[in-house]
Amino acid sequence: MKHKITGDIFRWNSSIWDFNRLMRSVKPDEEIDLTINSMGGDAFTGIDIMNTLRSHKGTVTVTISGIAASAASVMCMGADKVKAYSNTQMMLHFASSGIFGNAKALRKRADDLESIDESVLASYTHRVDEGEAKKMLEKETYLSAKKALEIGLIDEIVDAKPEKVESEVFENKAKEFNNKLSNEPVASSTSIDEETLKEMFAEFKNEIRNELQQNNEPPEPKPTPAETKQNLSKLFLNYKNEGE
């Protein structure tokens, strides 16, 4: 099931109404892919959607496409996997409220908000240490996708660039081969004998193969004299193709 929740987090929001309607017909083990872009809203609506997602037996993935703030960030905590685009934000804060009344009513409302804050805090503690989560909630913290990933509030940045992976095996062998070329005695001060160069390439190729072989596999036989007499350019091409 795929759906997107946008706008304020309240029951009468049409995207939330549609979400609840879809959840009534979703299969118990069906995968859910939910996209969120919201500045937040009612804390208890956010907690309700979080727990609805968390209790679903199928895999739930939430993707932040703009911002997941306040109650919307609470909703994200119900997913098995939270993803975000690199240019998105997540915002956490404790509950807030406006009230008109006398001193007694204001004091009671403050006590109520502190109780609600306990519920809000509990929404994040399965992903973040309670002390760290409390500090972020008290400060009203905005997090970039990169920072949210570092903290553990999201699991993946959707459009992150993959890191370049280099092979140390081939890098070391290349250095070893270059050193061999520089140290190899030659008959002429201007060039290397072609037959010697062929043999060096064949030896280098065989060393690479032996390096990559499994311990239980027999070593590859050394090239025969007939193989070393192959055309130099063809030998190098074969080596390159096999290395790739």
Domain match, 180 and 141 both: no
Q: Label residues 84-102 b or e (16+ Cβ within 10 Å = b).
A: beeebbbbbbbbeeeeeee
Q: Rounded mean pLDDT of 88-113?
A: 91
Domain match, 152 and 178 both: no
| pLDDT value of residue 49 | 98
Domain match, 152 and 204 both: no
Q: 203 pLDDT band (50/70/90 cuts)?
A: confident
Ranked by mean pLDDT, the top range of 73-77, 178-182, 183-187, 235-239 is: 73-77
Amino acid at 78: G
| pLDDT value of residue 77 | 98
Q: Rounded mean pLDDT of 106-129?
A: 95
* Res 188 pLDDT > 60: no
Domain match, 126 and 215 both: no
| pLDDT value of residue 12 | 93
Q: Rounded mean pLDDT of 43-69?
A: 97
Domain coverage including residue 205: 168-243
Rounded Cα gap, residues 205 and 236, in angstroms: 9
Give per-residue pLDDT as tens, 137-152: 999 999 999 999 999 9
Domain match, 141 and 188 both: no
Domain match, 223 and 127 both: no
Closest to 9 (Cα-Cα) out of 62, 73, 55: 73
Yes or no: say if 18 and 49 are a contact pair by the CB < 8 Å rule.
no
Closest to 10 (Cα-Cα) out of 19, 1, 2: 19
The 3-class secondary structure across 145-189, one letter per residue, is HHHHHHHCCCCEECCCCCCCCCCHHHHHHHHHHHHHHHHCCCCCC
How many angstroms separate the Cα of 76 from the Cα of each of 82, 117, 217?
A: 7, 17, 50
| pLDDT value of residue 157 | 97
Structural domain contains residue 162: no
Q: What single string gives the DSSP state of each residue in 112-137?
A: HHHHHHHHHHHTTTTTS-HHHHHHHH
Comparison of pLDDT for 83 and 233, the residue scoring more: 83
Structural domain contains residue 163: no
* Res 50 pLDDT > 70: yes
CATH number of 34's domain: 3.90.226.10
Q: 221 pLDDT band (50/70/90 cuts)?
A: low
| pLDDT value of residue 33 | 98
Rounded Cα gap, residues 146 and 73, in angstroms: 15
Structure tokens at 127: 């992903």
Q: 89 pLDDT band (50/70/90 cuts)?
A: very high
| pLDDT value of residue 145 | 97
| pLDDT value of residue 156 | 96
| pLDDT value of residue 189 | 42
Domain match, 57 and 123 both: yes
Structural domain contains residue 69: yes
